[in-house]
Structure 1
Amino acid sequence: EFYGKPVTLLNRDDVERFPGKILDAAAEGDAVFLTGGDPMVSTTHADIRIRAEERGIATRIIHGASIQSAVCGLSGLQNYRFGKSCSVPYPERNWFPTTPLDTILSNFRQDLHTLVFLDIKPDRHMSVPEGVELICRMAEKCGETAPPLYVGMARAGSESPSVFAGSAEDVMNHDYGAPLHIIAVPASLHEMEREYLEIFAGLKRE
Protein backbone atom coordinates (compact mmCIF):
# COMPACT_ATOMS: atom_id res chain seq x y z
CA GLU A 1 0.00 0.00 0.00
CA PHE A 2 1.22 3.50 -0.86
CA TYR A 3 -0.60 6.71 0.08
CA GLY A 4 -3.58 4.57 0.99
CA LYS A 5 -3.71 2.94 -2.44
CA PRO A 6 -3.14 -0.78 -3.06
CA VAL A 7 0.09 -1.68 -4.87
CA THR A 8 0.62 -4.87 -6.88
CA LEU A 9 4.20 -5.83 -7.72
CA LEU A 10 4.59 -7.32 -11.19
CA ASN A 11 7.58 -9.18 -12.56
CA ARG A 12 8.74 -9.08 -16.15
CA ASP A 13 6.73 -12.15 -17.09
CA ASP A 14 3.54 -10.61 -15.68
CA VAL A 15 3.96 -7.53 -17.86
CA GLU A 16 5.02 -9.29 -21.05
CA ARG A 17 2.71 -12.31 -20.99
CA PHE A 18 -0.22 -11.23 -18.84
CA PRO A 19 -0.84 -7.50 -19.41
CA GLY A 20 -4.56 -8.12 -18.90
CA LYS A 21 -4.08 -7.56 -15.15
CA ILE A 22 -3.03 -3.98 -15.82
CA LEU A 23 -5.75 -3.36 -18.40
CA ASP A 24 -8.49 -4.85 -16.22
CA ALA A 25 -7.51 -2.57 -13.34
CA ALA A 26 -7.53 0.45 -15.66
CA ALA A 27 -10.92 -0.52 -17.07
CA GLU A 28 -12.42 -0.46 -13.57
CA GLY A 29 -11.03 2.95 -12.58
CA ASP A 30 -7.85 4.98 -12.34
CA ALA A 31 -4.71 2.83 -12.45
CA VAL A 32 -1.01 3.62 -12.66
CA PHE A 33 1.61 1.37 -14.25
CA LEU A 34 4.90 2.48 -12.66
CA THR A 35 8.20 1.42 -14.16
CA GLY A 36 11.80 2.54 -13.90
CA GLY A 37 13.28 4.84 -16.53
CA ASP A 38 11.45 6.19 -19.56
CA PRO A 39 8.16 4.27 -19.68
CA MET A 40 7.89 4.14 -23.46
CA VAL A 41 11.36 2.87 -24.38
CA SER A 42 10.08 -0.71 -24.03
CA THR A 43 8.04 -2.08 -26.94
CA THR A 44 6.06 -4.11 -24.38
CA HIS A 45 4.80 -0.90 -22.82
CA ALA A 46 3.85 0.47 -26.24
CA ASP A 47 1.86 -2.73 -26.81
CA ILE A 48 0.01 -2.25 -23.51
CA ARG A 49 -0.97 1.28 -24.52
CA ILE A 50 -2.24 0.04 -27.90
CA ARG A 51 -4.32 -2.66 -26.17
CA ALA A 52 -5.74 -0.06 -23.80
CA GLU A 53 -6.78 2.13 -26.73
CA GLU A 54 -8.46 -0.85 -28.39
CA ARG A 55 -10.48 -1.38 -25.21
CA GLY A 56 -11.46 2.27 -24.99
CA ILE A 57 -9.25 2.93 -21.97
CA ALA A 58 -7.79 6.44 -21.92
CA THR A 59 -4.06 6.64 -21.17
CA ARG A 60 -1.57 9.33 -20.23
CA ILE A 61 2.22 9.10 -20.23
CA ILE A 62 4.35 10.62 -17.48
CA HIS A 63 7.78 10.70 -19.06
CA GLY A 64 10.79 9.77 -16.94
CA ALA A 65 14.55 9.91 -17.23
CA SER A 66 15.96 7.34 -19.63
CA ILE A 67 18.87 4.98 -19.00
CA GLN A 68 20.23 6.24 -22.32
CA SER A 69 20.55 9.80 -21.07
CA ALA A 70 21.94 8.55 -17.74
CA VAL A 71 24.61 6.55 -19.57
CA CYS A 72 25.67 9.61 -21.55
CA GLY A 73 25.89 11.62 -18.35
CA LEU A 74 27.99 9.03 -16.52
CA SER A 75 30.27 8.14 -19.42
CA GLY A 76 30.51 11.40 -21.33
CA LEU A 77 29.83 9.51 -24.57
CA GLN A 78 27.90 11.76 -26.94
CA ASN A 79 24.26 10.78 -27.39
CA TYR A 80 24.12 11.30 -31.16
CA ARG A 81 27.00 8.86 -31.67
CA PHE A 82 25.10 5.79 -30.44
CA GLY A 83 23.84 3.22 -32.91
CA LYS A 84 21.42 0.36 -32.35
CA SER A 85 21.40 -1.06 -28.81
CA CYS A 86 21.47 -4.76 -27.93
CA SER A 87 20.97 -7.10 -24.97
CA VAL A 88 23.29 -9.83 -23.71
CA PRO A 89 21.33 -12.79 -22.30
CA TYR A 90 22.56 -15.50 -19.99
CA PRO A 91 23.46 -18.50 -22.19
CA GLU A 92 21.55 -21.69 -21.64
CA ARG A 93 22.19 -25.32 -22.42
CA ASN A 94 22.72 -25.68 -26.19
CA TRP A 95 21.96 -21.96 -26.68
CA PHE A 96 24.64 -19.30 -26.93
CA PRO A 97 23.47 -16.45 -29.20
CA THR A 98 26.01 -14.18 -30.86
CA THR A 99 23.61 -11.61 -32.32
CA PRO A 100 24.63 -9.00 -29.70
CA LEU A 101 28.17 -9.11 -31.11
CA ASP A 102 26.77 -8.61 -34.62
CA THR A 103 25.12 -5.39 -33.45
CA ILE A 104 28.24 -4.17 -31.66
CA LEU A 105 30.49 -4.84 -34.66
CA SER A 106 28.01 -3.31 -37.11
CA ASN A 107 27.94 -0.13 -35.03
CA PHE A 108 31.71 -0.22 -34.62
CA ARG A 109 32.24 -0.32 -38.39
CA GLN A 110 30.04 2.79 -38.67
CA ASP A 111 32.01 4.49 -35.87
CA LEU A 112 28.99 4.33 -33.56
CA HIS A 113 28.89 3.48 -29.85
CA THR A 114 26.70 0.61 -28.60
CA LEU A 115 24.55 0.52 -25.47
CA VAL A 116 24.47 -3.05 -24.16
CA PHE A 117 21.68 -4.06 -21.79
CA LEU A 118 22.42 -6.97 -19.44
CA ASP A 119 20.11 -9.86 -18.63
CA ILE A 120 17.88 -9.84 -15.57
CA LYS A 121 16.58 -13.06 -14.03
CA PRO A 122 14.30 -13.44 -11.00
CA ASP A 123 17.24 -14.67 -8.92
CA ARG A 124 20.20 -12.82 -10.44
CA HIS A 125 21.28 -9.78 -12.40
CA MET A 126 24.08 -9.92 -14.95
CA SER A 127 27.12 -7.88 -13.95
CA VAL A 128 29.42 -5.81 -16.15
CA PRO A 129 32.27 -8.37 -15.86
CA GLU A 130 29.90 -11.19 -16.83
CA GLY A 131 28.60 -9.23 -19.80
CA VAL A 132 32.07 -8.36 -21.10
CA GLU A 133 33.22 -11.96 -20.68
CA LEU A 134 30.26 -13.14 -22.76
CA ILE A 135 30.98 -10.57 -25.49
CA CYS A 136 34.58 -11.84 -25.65
CA ARG A 137 33.34 -15.43 -25.84
CA MET A 138 31.02 -14.46 -28.69
CA ALA A 139 33.94 -12.92 -30.56
CA GLU A 140 36.03 -16.06 -30.06
CA LYS A 141 33.17 -18.27 -31.26
CA CYS A 142 32.67 -16.14 -34.38
CA GLY A 143 36.37 -15.73 -35.14
CA GLU A 144 36.13 -11.98 -34.64
CA THR A 145 38.27 -9.54 -32.69
CA ALA A 146 36.53 -8.39 -29.52
CA PRO A 147 36.10 -4.63 -29.01
CA PRO A 148 39.14 -3.04 -27.34
CA LEU A 149 37.31 -0.72 -24.93
CA TYR A 150 34.32 -0.98 -22.59
CA VAL A 151 32.56 1.40 -20.22
CA GLY A 152 30.83 -0.37 -17.34
CA MET A 153 28.23 1.41 -15.25
CA ALA A 154 26.14 0.47 -12.23
CA ARG A 155 23.16 2.01 -10.45
CA ALA A 156 22.79 4.84 -12.97
CA GLY A 157 20.42 7.50 -11.68
CA SER A 158 20.99 6.61 -8.02
CA GLU A 159 22.95 8.50 -5.39
CA SER A 160 25.80 5.98 -5.64
CA PRO A 161 26.49 5.27 -9.32
CA SER A 162 29.67 3.54 -10.44
CA VAL A 163 31.46 3.98 -13.77
CA PHE A 164 34.76 2.50 -14.90
CA ALA A 165 36.25 2.23 -18.39
CA GLY A 166 39.07 0.16 -19.77
CA SER A 167 40.08 -2.95 -21.67
CA ALA A 168 38.14 -6.18 -21.31
CA GLU A 169 40.67 -7.39 -18.74
CA ASP A 170 40.52 -4.16 -16.74
CA VAL A 171 36.73 -4.07 -16.73
CA MET A 172 36.32 -7.75 -15.85
CA ASN A 173 38.56 -7.27 -12.82
CA HIS A 174 36.73 -4.20 -11.54
CA ASP A 175 34.13 -4.39 -8.77
CA TYR A 176 31.08 -2.33 -9.78
CA GLY A 177 29.07 -3.19 -6.69
CA ALA A 178 25.35 -3.84 -6.51
CA PRO A 179 23.09 -4.00 -9.60
CA LEU A 180 21.72 -2.88 -11.95
CA HIS A 181 24.63 -2.86 -14.41
CA ILE A 182 24.94 -1.74 -18.04
CA ILE A 183 27.73 -1.52 -20.62
CA ALA A 184 28.63 0.94 -23.35
CA VAL A 185 31.00 -0.22 -26.08
CA PRO A 186 32.59 2.88 -27.61
CA ALA A 187 33.76 3.26 -31.19
CA SER A 188 36.46 5.88 -31.74
CA LEU A 189 36.55 8.52 -29.02
CA HIS A 190 36.22 12.24 -29.56
CA GLU A 191 38.88 14.17 -27.65
CA MET A 192 36.33 15.37 -25.09
CA GLU A 193 34.83 11.88 -24.68
CA ARG A 194 38.28 10.47 -23.91
CA GLU A 195 39.09 13.25 -21.46
CA TYR A 196 35.74 12.75 -19.70
CA LEU A 197 36.37 9.01 -19.36
CA GLU A 198 39.88 9.61 -18.05
CA ILE A 199 38.62 12.04 -15.40
CA PHE A 200 35.37 10.39 -14.35
CA ALA A 201 35.74 6.71 -15.31
CA GLY A 202 39.38 5.91 -14.60
CA LEU A 203 40.32 5.31 -18.23
CA LYS A 204 44.09 4.98 -18.56
CA ARG A 205 45.69 7.87 -20.39
CA GLU A 206 47.34 7.01 -23.68
Structure 2
Amino acid sequence: MLTFIGLGLFDENDISLKGLDAVSAADLVYAEFYTSRLMGTTIEKLEALYKKPVHILLREDVEQNPDWMMAAKDKNVVFLTGGDTMASTTHVDLRIRAHDLGIETKLIHGASIISAVYGLSGLQNYRFGKSVSIPFPYISARGNRVVTETPYDTIQKNKENGLHTLVFLDINPDHGYMKVSEALKLLMEVEHKRNEGVMENQIAVGIARAGSDDVCVKADFAGNCGNFDLGGPLQILVIPGELHFLEAEALVKLAGAPDCILKEE
Protein backbone atom coordinates (compact mmCIF):
# COMPACT_ATOMS: atom_id res chain seq x y z
CA MET A 1 0.00 0.00 0.00
CA LEU A 2 1.22 3.47 -0.90
CA THR A 3 -0.54 6.21 1.07
CA PHE A 4 -0.25 9.82 -0.06
CA ILE A 5 -0.60 12.21 2.88
CA GLY A 6 -0.96 15.98 2.77
CA LEU A 7 0.71 17.64 5.76
CA GLY A 8 -1.18 20.94 5.65
CA LEU A 9 0.08 24.49 5.53
CA PHE A 10 2.75 25.38 8.05
CA ASP A 11 4.17 23.00 10.67
CA GLU A 12 4.21 19.41 11.93
CA ASN A 13 0.99 19.90 13.89
CA ASP A 14 -1.10 20.52 10.75
CA ILE A 15 -1.28 16.83 9.83
CA SER A 16 -4.73 15.27 10.31
CA LEU A 17 -5.31 12.59 12.95
CA LYS A 18 -6.04 10.15 10.13
CA GLY A 19 -2.74 11.07 8.51
CA LEU A 20 -0.83 10.71 11.76
CA ASP A 21 -2.34 7.27 12.32
CA ALA A 22 -1.23 6.22 8.82
CA VAL A 23 2.32 7.45 9.42
CA SER A 24 2.46 5.60 12.76
CA ALA A 25 1.41 2.37 11.04
CA ALA A 26 3.83 2.77 8.12
CA ASP A 27 6.90 0.63 7.54
CA LEU A 28 8.61 3.36 5.53
CA VAL A 29 8.09 7.14 5.47
CA TYR A 30 9.11 9.26 2.48
CA ALA A 31 8.64 12.99 1.90
CA GLU A 32 9.33 15.58 -0.77
CA PHE A 33 9.48 19.31 -0.09
CA TYR A 34 10.47 20.78 -3.45
CA THR A 35 6.87 21.44 -4.59
CA SER A 36 5.87 22.96 -1.25
CA ARG A 37 7.57 23.64 2.07
CA LEU A 38 6.42 23.57 5.68
CA MET A 39 8.17 26.71 6.89
CA GLY A 40 7.28 26.22 10.56
CA THR A 41 8.98 22.89 11.14
CA THR A 42 12.08 20.78 10.51
CA ILE A 43 12.73 17.18 9.56
CA GLU A 44 13.87 16.59 13.14
CA LYS A 45 10.52 17.79 14.49
CA LEU A 46 8.63 15.59 12.04
CA GLU A 47 10.66 12.55 13.06
CA ALA A 48 10.14 13.31 16.74
CA LEU A 49 6.37 13.43 16.24
CA TYR A 50 6.26 10.30 14.07
CA LYS A 51 8.84 8.41 16.17
CA LYS A 52 10.45 7.08 12.99
CA PRO A 53 12.85 8.29 10.30
CA VAL A 54 11.66 10.38 7.35
CA HIS A 55 13.48 9.76 4.07
CA ILE A 56 13.65 12.96 1.99
CA LEU A 57 13.26 12.52 -1.76
CA LEU A 58 14.81 14.81 -4.35
CA ARG A 59 12.99 15.88 -7.52
CA GLU A 60 14.67 13.17 -9.58
CA ASP A 61 13.65 10.54 -7.00
CA VAL A 62 10.01 11.43 -7.54
CA GLU A 63 9.84 12.36 -11.20
CA GLN A 64 12.52 10.19 -12.84
CA ASN A 65 13.59 7.31 -10.60
CA PRO A 66 10.84 6.41 -8.10
CA ASP A 67 12.41 3.02 -7.36
CA TRP A 68 11.63 3.52 -3.66
CA MET A 69 7.96 3.03 -4.53
CA MET A 70 8.49 -0.69 -5.21
CA ALA A 71 8.62 -1.35 -1.46
CA ALA A 72 4.89 -0.56 -1.35
CA LYS A 73 4.18 -3.88 -3.09
CA ASP A 74 4.52 -5.71 0.22
CA LYS A 75 4.95 -2.97 2.84
CA ASN A 76 2.99 0.03 4.12
CA VAL A 77 4.69 3.07 2.61
CA VAL A 78 3.61 6.69 3.09
CA PHE A 79 4.53 9.63 0.89
CA LEU A 80 4.32 13.04 2.57
CA THR A 81 3.91 16.42 0.91
CA GLY A 82 3.15 19.93 2.09
CA GLY A 83 -0.39 21.20 1.60
CA ASP A 84 -2.84 18.78 0.01
CA THR A 85 -1.52 15.53 -1.32
CA MET A 86 -2.64 15.83 -4.95
CA ALA A 87 -2.14 19.57 -5.48
CA SER A 88 0.81 18.92 -7.83
CA THR A 89 0.58 17.05 -11.14
CA THR A 90 3.83 15.36 -10.10
CA HIS A 91 1.93 13.52 -7.39
CA VAL A 92 -0.86 12.51 -9.75
CA ASP A 93 1.75 11.07 -12.11
CA LEU A 94 3.30 9.16 -9.22
CA ARG A 95 -0.06 7.66 -8.28
CA ILE A 96 -0.65 6.57 -11.89
CA ARG A 97 2.77 4.89 -11.93
CA ALA A 98 1.87 3.02 -8.75
CA HIS A 99 -1.40 1.89 -10.30
CA ASP A 100 0.45 0.59 -13.37
CA LEU A 101 2.77 -1.40 -11.08
CA GLY A 102 -0.16 -2.99 -9.30
CA ILE A 103 0.42 -1.01 -6.09
CA GLU A 104 -2.71 -0.10 -4.15
CA THR A 105 -2.91 3.61 -3.26
CA LYS A 106 -4.82 5.72 -0.75
CA LEU A 107 -5.17 9.48 -0.28
CA ILE A 108 -5.32 11.36 3.03
CA HIS A 109 -5.88 15.02 2.33
CA GLY A 110 -4.45 18.05 4.11
CA ALA A 111 -5.26 21.75 4.23
CA SER A 112 -4.45 23.47 0.95
CA ILE A 113 -3.17 26.98 0.27
CA ILE A 114 -5.93 27.26 -2.31
CA SER A 115 -8.77 26.95 0.20
CA ALA A 116 -6.78 28.99 2.75
CA VAL A 117 -6.62 31.90 0.29
CA TYR A 118 -10.40 31.98 0.03
CA GLY A 119 -10.84 32.17 3.79
CA LEU A 120 -8.06 34.66 4.49
CA SER A 121 -8.94 37.08 1.70
CA GLY A 122 -12.73 36.78 1.72
CA LEU A 123 -12.71 36.22 -2.04
CA GLN A 124 -15.28 33.67 -3.19
CA ASN A 125 -13.93 30.38 -4.52
CA TYR A 126 -16.23 30.09 -7.53
CA ARG A 127 -15.05 33.44 -8.87
CA PHE A 128 -11.48 32.28 -9.59
CA GLY A 129 -10.22 31.57 -13.09
CA LYS A 130 -7.08 29.81 -14.27
CA SER A 131 -4.19 30.00 -11.81
CA VAL A 132 -0.62 30.80 -12.84
CA SER A 133 2.94 30.75 -11.50
CA ILE A 134 5.50 33.55 -11.70
CA PRO A 135 9.08 32.29 -12.09
CA PHE A 136 12.20 34.27 -11.32
CA PRO A 137 13.78 35.96 -14.39
CA TYR A 138 16.41 33.89 -16.16
CA ILE A 139 19.33 34.54 -18.48
CA SER A 140 18.82 33.39 -22.06
CA ALA A 141 21.42 31.68 -24.25
CA ARG A 142 22.22 35.12 -25.67
CA GLY A 143 22.87 36.51 -22.22
CA ASN A 144 19.65 38.52 -21.99
CA ARG A 145 17.54 38.78 -18.84
CA VAL A 146 14.12 37.29 -19.59
CA VAL A 147 10.92 38.00 -17.66
CA THR A 148 8.17 35.51 -18.49
CA GLU A 149 5.06 37.30 -19.77
CA THR A 150 2.60 34.38 -19.57
CA PRO A 151 1.44 35.24 -16.02
CA TYR A 152 0.52 38.75 -17.14
CA ASP A 153 -1.48 37.36 -20.07
CA THR A 154 -3.32 34.87 -17.84
CA ILE A 155 -4.25 37.61 -15.38
CA GLN A 156 -5.60 39.84 -18.14
CA LYS A 157 -7.60 36.98 -19.67
CA ASN A 158 -9.19 36.21 -16.30
CA LYS A 159 -9.95 39.89 -15.76
CA GLU A 160 -11.75 40.05 -19.11
CA ASN A 161 -14.05 37.36 -17.74
CA GLY A 162 -14.44 39.08 -14.36
CA LEU A 163 -12.44 36.35 -12.62
CA HIS A 164 -9.76 36.39 -9.91
CA THR A 165 -6.28 34.94 -10.50
CA LEU A 166 -4.35 32.91 -7.94
CA VAL A 167 -0.64 33.50 -8.55
CA PHE A 168 1.87 31.01 -7.17
CA LEU A 169 5.36 32.38 -6.52
CA ASP A 170 8.59 30.67 -7.47
CA ILE A 171 10.73 28.58 -5.11
CA ASN A 172 14.22 28.42 -6.58
CA PRO A 173 17.46 26.99 -5.12
CA ASP A 174 19.45 29.92 -6.52
CA HIS A 175 17.05 32.77 -5.69
CA GLY A 176 15.14 31.46 -2.67
CA TYR A 177 11.47 32.21 -2.07
CA MET A 178 9.83 34.84 -4.25
CA LYS A 179 7.96 37.58 -2.39
CA VAL A 180 4.70 39.24 -3.38
CA SER A 181 6.51 42.56 -3.82
CA GLU A 182 8.95 40.93 -6.27
CA ALA A 183 6.11 39.30 -8.21
CA LEU A 184 4.28 42.60 -8.54
CA LYS A 185 7.43 44.33 -9.78
CA LEU A 186 7.82 41.66 -12.47
CA LEU A 187 4.19 42.14 -13.56
CA MET A 188 4.70 45.90 -13.67
CA GLU A 189 7.86 45.38 -15.72
CA VAL A 190 5.84 43.48 -18.34
CA GLU A 191 3.19 46.20 -18.27
CA HIS A 192 5.73 48.98 -18.85
CA LYS A 193 7.35 47.00 -21.65
CA ARG A 194 3.98 46.77 -23.40
CA ASN A 195 3.05 50.35 -22.55
CA GLU A 196 -0.22 49.24 -21.01
CA GLY A 197 -1.76 50.99 -18.03
CA VAL A 198 -4.15 48.54 -16.43
CA MET A 199 -2.10 46.80 -13.76
CA GLU A 200 -0.85 49.79 -11.78
CA ASN A 201 -4.31 50.70 -10.47
CA GLN A 202 -5.33 47.06 -10.08
CA ILE A 203 -6.03 45.78 -6.55
CA ALA A 204 -3.68 43.01 -5.49
CA VAL A 205 -3.84 40.76 -2.43
CA GLY A 206 -0.73 39.32 -0.80
CA ILE A 207 -0.78 36.53 1.76
CA ALA A 208 2.19 35.29 3.77
CA ARG A 209 2.64 32.32 6.11
CA ALA A 210 -0.88 30.92 5.80
CA GLY A 211 -1.63 28.47 8.59
CA SER A 212 0.71 30.13 11.10
CA ASP A 213 -0.02 32.42 14.04
CA ASP A 214 1.92 35.08 12.12
CA VAL A 215 -0.20 35.09 8.97
CA CYS A 216 -0.22 38.38 7.04
CA VAL A 217 -2.87 39.50 4.54
CA LYS A 218 -2.46 42.79 2.67
CA ALA A 219 -4.48 44.37 -0.13
CA ASP A 220 -3.45 47.49 -2.04
CA PHE A 221 -2.97 48.71 -5.58
CA ALA A 222 -0.43 46.66 -7.51
CA GLY A 223 1.53 49.79 -8.36
CA ASN A 224 2.27 50.29 -4.66
CA CYS A 225 4.75 47.40 -4.63
CA GLY A 226 6.58 48.85 -1.65
CA ASN A 227 3.50 48.48 0.55
CA PHE A 228 3.63 44.70 0.22
CA ASP A 229 6.35 44.03 2.78
CA LEU A 230 4.80 40.86 4.20
CA GLY A 231 7.82 39.47 6.00
CA GLY A 232 9.07 35.93 5.51
CA PRO A 233 7.90 33.09 3.26
CA LEU A 234 5.88 31.37 2.00
CA GLN A 235 3.90 34.00 0.11
CA ILE A 236 1.16 33.91 -2.50
CA LEU A 237 -0.51 36.58 -4.62
CA VAL A 238 -4.09 37.11 -5.80
CA ILE A 239 -5.11 39.55 -8.53
CA PRO A 240 -8.88 40.01 -8.17
CA GLY A 241 -11.19 40.46 -11.12
CA GLU A 242 -14.62 42.00 -10.69
CA LEU A 243 -15.44 42.24 -6.98
CA HIS A 244 -18.75 41.32 -5.40
CA PHE A 245 -19.65 43.90 -2.75
CA LEU A 246 -19.02 41.36 0.04
CA GLU A 247 -15.58 40.61 -1.40
CA ALA A 248 -14.74 44.30 -1.54
CA GLU A 249 -15.89 44.75 2.06
CA ALA A 250 -13.78 41.77 3.15
CA LEU A 251 -10.67 43.17 1.47
CA VAL A 252 -11.14 46.54 3.15
CA LYS A 253 -11.88 45.19 6.62
CA LEU A 254 -9.72 42.06 6.65
CA ALA A 255 -6.82 43.04 4.40
CA GLY A 256 -6.59 46.84 4.70
CA ALA A 257 -7.57 47.61 1.10
CA PRO A 258 -8.33 51.26 0.22
CA ASP A 259 -11.95 52.27 0.92
CA CYS A 260 -12.34 53.43 -2.67
CA ILE A 261 -12.88 49.85 -3.85
CA LEU A 262 -16.24 49.78 -2.03
CA LYS A 263 -19.17 50.16 -4.35
CA GLU A 264 -21.74 52.79 -3.54
CA GLU A 265 -25.19 51.42 -2.68
What's the TM-score once normalised by structure 1's chain length?
A: 0.92
Higher strand share: 2
Distance, in Å, in 2 between the alignment partners of 1:176 and 1:14 is 34
* Structure 1: gaps of 5 or more residues: none
- Structure 1 position 103 matched with structure 2 position 154: yes
Partner residue of 2:188 out of 131, 136, 143: 136
Give, in whole Å, the separation in 2 of the partners of 1:139 and 1:79: 27
Partner SS state of residue 132, structure 1: helix
Task: After superposition, give the CA deviation of every residue in 1:151-187 in whole Å (9 maximum; x if it has no partner).
Answer: 0000112222110000123343332111000000001
1:188 aligns with 2:239: no
Q: Distance in 1 between matches of 2:224 and 2:93?
A: 40
Residues 202 and 22 from structure 1, CA distance in 2 versus in 1: closer, same or farther, beyond 3 angstroms?
A: farther
Q: Which residue identity is paired with 1:65?
A: A
Q: CA deviation at 1:137?
A: 1.1
Q: Report the counterpart of residue 10 of structure 2 in structure 1.
A: none
Contact 1:164–1:171 (8 Å) recurs in 2:
no
- Gaps spanning 5+ residues in structure 2: where? 1-46, 141-145, 261-265
**1:166 aligned to 2:212?**
no
Secondary structure, counterpart of 2:115 in structure 1: helix
Q: Does 1:118 align with 2:164?
A: no
1:202 aligned onto 2:256: yes
- C-alpha separation between the residues in 2 aligned to 1:141 and 1:13? 37
Which of these residues, 45, 66, 69, is aligned with residue 91 of structure 2? 45
Question: How many residues are matched?
Answer: 205
Deviations 1:93-137 (A, max 9, x none): 123221111111000000000000000012510001001111111
Tell me if the contact between 1:150 and 1:171 (Cα under 8 Å) persists in the aligned partners.
no
Aligned to 2:112: 66
CA apart distance, 1:141:
2.6
Q: What is the deviation of 1:146?
A: 4.2
CA distance 1:169–1:142, change in 2 (3 Å): closer
- Tell me the residue number matched to 1:10: 57
Amino acid paired to 1:183: L
User: Given that residues 118 and 127 in structure 1 are in contact (C-alpha distance below 8 angstroms), is that contact kept between their aligned partners in structure 2?
Assistant: yes
- Name the counterpart of 1:56: 102
Distance 2:212 2:71 in 1: 30
Judged with a 3 Å threshold, the aligned counterparts in structure 2 of structure 1 residues 158 and 188 are, in CA distance, closer, same or farther, namely same
Cα distance in 1 for residues equivalent to 2:63 and 2:226: 32
1:165 match: secondary structure: strand
Q: 1:12 to 1:178 in 2, by over 3 A?
A: farther
How far the C-alpha of 1:68 sits from its partner, in A, is 1.1
Q: CA RMSD in A?
A: 1.7
State TM-score, norm by structure 2.
0.72
Cα distance in 2 between the residues matched to 1:56 and 1:74: 41
Q: Does the 8 Å CA contact 1:49/1:59 hold for their aligned counterparts?
A: yes
Q: Deviations over 1:64-83 (max 9, x none)?
A: 12211100111101100000
Identity of aligned residues (%): 51
Q: 1:53 to 1:125 in 2, by over 3 A?
A: same
Larger Rg: 2
